[in-house]
Amino acid sequence: MNFTEKLAKISLKNRSLLCVGLDPDPALMPEKIGVFEFNKAIIDATADFVCAYKPNIAFYEAMGHEAVEALHETISYVPKEIPTIIDAKRGDIGNTAKAYARSLFDRFNADAITASPYLGYDSLEPFIERRDRGVFILCRTSNPGAADFQSLPVGEDKKLLYEVVAEKVNEWNKHGNLGLVVGATYPEELKLIRQRYPEILLLIPGVGAQGGELEQVVKYGTDKGRRRTVINSSRQIIFASRGKDFADAAAKAARELRDRINAFWR
């Protein structure tokens, strides 16, 4: 089963478009708990409410070797029916790109990853050619500085850069395994992308802590079949409590957000 099929199947089973970001931060985690122990408790508590998990590799690398090993353990622990998306935002050329693909898909065994389009097609080809895996390519990101480059007019027709990225990714999507990262904080851009590419995979970060308006995200970003949309929330769920009840609080937050997404969907 490839990533797109796996995502569609669990989205239907769990009635969910919710992805939980597994981004452990010792400053926000309960005291005296290891990274894998924390992630394991979050997964156990939320697995019935999600369509995917998305660990951002930076949080693990920042804590050193043991945390990177905990990422391995975490991905192995996630139920096989639920896809994992490693948020790595990789983008490089030649053998380096191939090494990144081997690392993320073979060593970590991610079902999907995030990548940067800045270096062009050849920098993404080693990921794209892994037909069973998903590749979410940065298009219109959720951060305030996104407009510095992503809103620049390009070429004779003055399309904005994020529009050109979306157009290129759609052209490259010959195996149906490519998607776009479009932030919840830019609902009009999200609406435009989904209208132009109704069947493309979308990863939508920025719900919750970054202030994305959920009703607009669901209205503008969801595909008709509810099989190709991943709405991510991290801190709002995994740090719903810093006490001993952190897993129960995460379950409650995940269930409520899943249900709110479903309530807005038409």
Confidence band (pLDDT; 50, 70, 90) for 213?
Answer: confident
Tens digit of pLDDT for each residue in 167-203? 999 999 999 999 999 999 999 999 999 999 999 999 9
Confidence band (pLDDT; 50, 70, 90) for 209?
Answer: low
Mean pLDDT, range 60-82, rounded to an integer? 97
Mean pLDDT, range 4-31, rounded to an integer? 97
Confidence band (pLDDT; 50, 70, 90) for 208?
Answer: low
Q: How many CA atoms lie within 13 A of 65 on its CB side?
A: 0
Tens digit of pLDDT for each residue in 42-66? 999 999 999 999 999 999 999 999 9
Mean pLDDT, range 234-263, rounded to an integer? 96
Is the pLDDT score of 210 beyond 80?
no
Mean pLDDT, range 231-258, rounded to an integer? 96
Is the pLDDT score of 265 beyond 80?
no
pLDDT at 212: 65
Mean pLDDT, range 97-121, rounded to an integer? 97
Percentage of residues of the chain with pLDDT beyond 70: 98
Give the domains, in start order, of the chain with CATH numbers. 3-264 (3.20.20.70)
Confidence band (pLDDT; 50, 70, 90) for 211?
Answer: low
Mean pLDDT, range 78-107, rounded to an integer? 97
Higher pLDDT, 213 or 218: 218
Q: What integer best gives the mean pLDDT of the chain?
A: 95
pLDDT at 123: 97
**Residue-wise DSSP of the chain:** --HHHHHHHHHHHTT--EEE-----TTTSPTT--HHHHHHHHHHHHTTS-SEE--BHHHHHTT-HHHHHHHHHHHHHS-TTS-BEEEEEE---HHHHHHHHIIIIIIS--SEEEE--TT-HHHHHHHHT-TTSEEEEEEE-SSGGGHHHHT-EETTTTEEHHHHHHHHHHHH-TTS-EEEEE-TT-HHHHHHHHHH-TTSEEEE--BSTT-B-HHHHHHHH--TTSSSEEEEE-HHHHTS-SSTTHHHHHHHHHHHHHHHHHHH--
Residues with Cβ < 8 Å from 69, sequence gap 6 or more?
none
Give the residue numbers marked as catalytic. 89
Mean pLDDT, range 92-100, rounded to an integer? 95
